[in-house]
Amino acid sequence: MAQPVQGQPNVQRPMLAPQTDPVMQARIEADFKPVYLAVGGPGHAFAFCQPHKVEKCDMCKLDFTALNRISKIFITNPNLRCPPPPTVLQQKLSQAVTNTKEEGNTLYKHNKHREALAKYNMAANIAVQRPPWESSALFREELSTVISNRSAALFELGDYLGALVDAETVVSIRRNWPKGHFRKAKALVGLRRLPEAEQSVSLGLQFEPNNTLQGGASKTHANTEGE
């Protein structure tokens, strides 16, 4: 009777470390700058500049705000061991932003601008809670839309400077969206800074020439000529 052949025992082979590219390593070392930091806060999980013990230090040119925000997310969510893939989105957060914004829009349409402003503030506070590893494009779209609407509410309340600040924020995070430039132009008109308003409208039209901003450009130009 033939005897079964005994197989070789499974031997786990050690993982070989990848070879370091000397050129890449030299580039990394050339760009390396030591950072002197202190840790503190709950669980000693937050970073601060060592000399001044602040999160953002202009003197040391250090900013640990983003890093500490991630630390806070992990501390408040102990079951979260590592960031999920960027394609995984918090649908409930998006729905909360949309619902709160729409409540503001309804109030705005009924000329309840102060109440609408409160809703837009709430929607903005919800939008900025999106974790930093999720889609930045979605974050910019949600936040810029809410801030744009808040700019409109501030304009209707006569706070033209506040409307301008919000409009400039919209332009900075979503430059190719014509509505942000339109909001900025309206605020500038309210501040009687008409040449700047015309420039803002013209810039918005560069991104979308057929946009209804064209009418705003004509009105702004007429106001400028009338000064």
Angle 148-151-156 (CA atoms, 0-180°, nearest 5)?
A: 135
Question: In the chain, what are the domains?
Answer: 36-80 (no CATH), 91-226 (1.25.40.10)
What residue type is assigned to position 12 of the chain?
Answer: Q
Please tell me the total number of residues recorded for the chain in this structure: 227
Share of the chain above pLDDT 70, in %: 82
Q: What pLDDT is attached to residue 127?
A: 93
Q: What pLDDT is attached to residue 74?
A: 78
Rounded distance between C-alpha atoms, residue 181 and residue 202, angstroms: 9
Rounded distance between C-alpha atoms, residue 126 and residue 150, angstroms: 14
Measured CA distances, 34 to 10, 25, 48, 62, 68 (Å)? 46, 16, 14, 11, 19
Rounded distance between C-alpha atoms, residue 161 and residue 169, angstroms: 12
Tokens of 54: 């602040």
Rounded distance between C-alpha atoms, residue 159 and residue 153, angstroms: 9
Q: What is the CA radius of gyration of the chain?
A: 27
Taking the C-alpha atoms of 148, 150, 156 and 161 in order, what is their torsion angle to the nearest 10 degrees? -80
Reduce the DSSP state of residue 4 to 3 states and report it. Answer: coil
- In this model, does residue 226 exceed pLDDT 50? no
Q: What pLDDT is attached to residue 15?
A: 66
- Prediction pTM value: 0.68
- In this model, does residue 220 exceed pLDDT 50? no
Spatial CA neighbour of 61 closest among 36, 28, 29, 31: 36
Reduce the DSSP state of residue 117 to 3 states and report it. Answer: helix
Rounded distance between C-alpha atoms, residue 85 and residue 134, angstroms: 8
Q: What pLDDT is attached to residue 14?
A: 66
- Please list the helix, strand and coil fractions of the chain in percent, rounded to the nearest 5, in that order: 60, 5, 35
Q: What pLDDT is attached to residue 106?
A: 98
Question: Is the Cα torsion angle 78, 133, 38, 52 positive or negative in sign?
Answer: negative
Q: What pLDDT is attached to residue 12?
A: 64
pLDDT tens sequence across 171-209: 999 999 999 999 999 999 999 999 999 999 999 888 887
- In this model, does residue 222 exceed pLDDT 50? no
Q: What pLDDT is attached to residue 80?
A: 73
- In this model, does residue 60 exceed pLDDT 90? no
